[in-house]
Structure 1
């Protein structure tokens, strides 16, 4: 059968079809109504076109041999404007006066857009407009995961679109991110009767847990000497917003703090050294940042030269509780302690260069302790506690030396 020629009309617009005998192709509609005017030449004029006139029309005539011939079909499209679209969330219609929709971070969001009436079928599409203040790159979120996934509906009926049945489009967000906060979701409707697009929209109010950002004045890496002014700043990003609170060593801070996240030391002192962290209470749950160790230098020390080692034996004899010699089993554990009341740190003497080098494995504490676990043969050698000289605080001195020997496992003799 030949493809029909389309003709688009508004309702109540007159239509004239020139041919012999014109009828609807489904042959269910009869042109006996007063709106249908048959002319002598076989033309058909339809006055006050109605929606029921929508469809395919065809004229037929008898040739000289009295055979019936059909002309090329004409598809008549009667335009009817659809109603404005609206949104459904979990099958419930969204109140147009309440644009904000609360949703939790990482949850799934299912939406539907409905347009009632209209001929031909309205076209519905989705758009996601992120808030201008959102930096998705800083949140390490790709653009693809922020877009809606349209759910393909059932196939259209073979008979085509049923007049005034409207249109429905479903979409979902597999996971809602904090980058979606204050994002606008649009369902856009297009139709031949509309000069401009119509839309239905909502704003996402994403609830997410706190994330912390800690800064310092002076900046990190700048040595903090006793007596200078220091500020710690904690920024908390959460929705609903929550208030930052500082803690020192899991307790109260040594100076008062304000509600804006600042912890200000007008003149920092050595006793202010310790572990600081920022906490916040959010929706009846407590959250915390990672710990930051604040170290205060209370005297200038010359660290450009090797420590004075001329009185090592005297220092070892007077301060060394380990008697200068220490033996540990292979695979065992040992803890070295600097002299009580001193602020020193342990170093390992390199047997080749005879210079002190840093400690690779093990755990050091600000109290002058150094612990080794699962001792290996290469851990053997001389360890020195280096700190400030009691007589000259601008010099480093070896406060204590310990020679560590590693004893291997004894195996029973095998008799031949």
Structure 2
């Protein structure tokens, strides 16, 4: 008699894993939202309120008519249109870098940067609070990786001090959980003192911080530096989809020729490219959008903490409100949803410190009445 399980039992371990997650309060479910959802959305990352802007949606529609719904192939085959090249040129110029390269997502951009720029023998020094895409990029690269405590450049110095060879410091510019900004100037100084380059994921900085919303790298005076590479998403402040790597032209050449998420992934769809470009031009024309998003986040923080809730002061548009446990965080978010407010719910293992949170994202287009609704709802439903 065979000792192996029957075919219908081979995947029974999945049910046990689901039971363990449920017991730990970590069950996750997809919730399709209707196009005409009436709830106030403070869960998404539409920081500037541009995802439904008529110039953005109009550009996407026109690109679909002109180029089609999809890119039809990888960037090196048929997936690079004139629209891609135009977005890359304007994005690089806006952010202060020599060149840019657009990917199908910010996740793909981070994987590309780390796997193509960190060959065997490289040391990656990664902040403990980094986004999963940076973590996965470090894992997939052929480099050795050392994780250092959050926002601790002195720990970076200790690791780099004993290394001889190529090295990168790797950090978010603004961290996605608590919305705190990395000490980028100190990171850069430390890396330079030890001959290392710096890679910054500026997904949550672009459009919100820095001069005219040019990001955390620009705010630190590092844009265009020969030893600094930045990655961004087009799906947050720019209200579209996709990601990009920004840096010296030779970095972009390396990615075009060697990055697997460039060579083997279908290019970003032209409607998303056109939408991102339209949003970028709106931000460039109206830099006050960035200031409004940041001011809204600080207003939310002041009012919620005055009401007795615990939330670190935001450096960008992300506001994190502490919850007692994963179960209470889920119930709290659900109570908010039932009262017409969508908020994020972050729980382990998504949060590196194990603390559950409600995550609110400020938007430049929130009205005073919507701010009142958000504050009243979150405070009235607190566990």
TM-score, length basis structure 2: 0.20
Structure number with the higher helix fraction is: 2
Structure number with the higher strand fraction is: 1
TM-score, length basis structure 1: 0.19
Higher relative contact order, chain-length normalized (CA < 8 Å, sep 6+): 2
